[in-house]
Amino acid sequence: MKRDRIGVIGVGHMGLAMAGRLAEQGHAVFARDIRAEREALAERDGARACATPALLCRQCDVVIVAVVDAAQTEAVLFGADGVAAAATAGTTCVVFCPTIAPESVESFATRLDALAVDWIEAPMSGGPARARQGTMSLMVACRDRVFERHAALLETLADPVFRLGERAGDGARTKLVNNLLAAINLVGAAEALALAERVGLDPARTLAVIERSSGQSWIGGDRMARALAGDTAPRAHTTLLAKDSGLAVAMAAAAGVDVELGARAAAAFADAVAQGHGGRDDSCLLDLARAKKP
């Protein structure tokens, strides 16, 4: 496989894991983050820090955008010293990884098309440990010729790579549907374990039963196991599913679809953030469920 020069803008939990994975696989990796300490971590894992997105882009064939939301994506692509100012028509490829609204993806793709800059929409799922191992999933939408050109790189980053077609925004639509269900499952798992404790059951034993029975969900098992073990280190901040479930409910409303359970789950995440838990790992929903009064 050709060893591309790859930039990662936003080396938070997922971006740092991807940068480390790519450096380990022999790529020249460049990193940019607004936090110097995150850039230092990326350099420890083999990347080279760049002072601006534009400087990073000038070093790279592929630029992976792994920031949090549409506003940050807009800033790093089209703001002062952004990627667009340095991208080379026909050569640079921009990969969008944040979970953002489909219409935001469509807008960014249209603006890059006007510059003759290739793009790949690739929201991700699976968490930083799987990203570091190359076993997370990517939900990919892009033109067929772009996919063929960069398929090997995508397969280095993820297994599976879900090819969704050419329409910009379909990665976001798929990710929002998935994350709405993840939010529902996590809220439900927290409430179920809180109930188990209230009726005198051992929560760890109850979770073991759920994990081998019809109530199992990946996110419920992962987060509840951490909560029961007292492992509070943030891997996925509560703000992330609050954002994603809110975007999913908005997408449903625009499509004229009533997602009652999804709306309740989104409200639960919004309440958690409003109560000051946005920076905590989203396994904190078990604490919140325990604290609910009858």
Residues noted as catalytic: 175
Letter string b/e over residues 66-80, b meaning 16 or more CB atoms within 10 A of that residue's CB? bbbbbebbbbbbbbe
Nearest to 9, CA basis, from 89, 76, 61: 76
- Asked if residues 19 and 49 have their Cβ atoms less than 8 Å apart, the reply is no
Look up residue 201 and give its amino acid: L
Gyration radius of the chain's alpha carbons: 20
Q: What is the DSSP letter of 84?
A: G
Spatial separation of the C-alpha atoms in residues 238 and 42, rounded to whole Å? 24
Nearest to 18, CA basis, from 156, 222, 163: 156
Residue with tokens 């439900």: 188
Burial class (CB in 10 A: 0-12, 13-18, 19+), 180: buried
Look up residue 98 and give its amino acid: P
Who's near 169: CB < 8 A, 6+ residues apart?
Answer: 102, 103, 105, 106, 109, 121, 141
Q: Is the dihedral of CA 66, 42, 126, 27 positive or negative?
A: positive
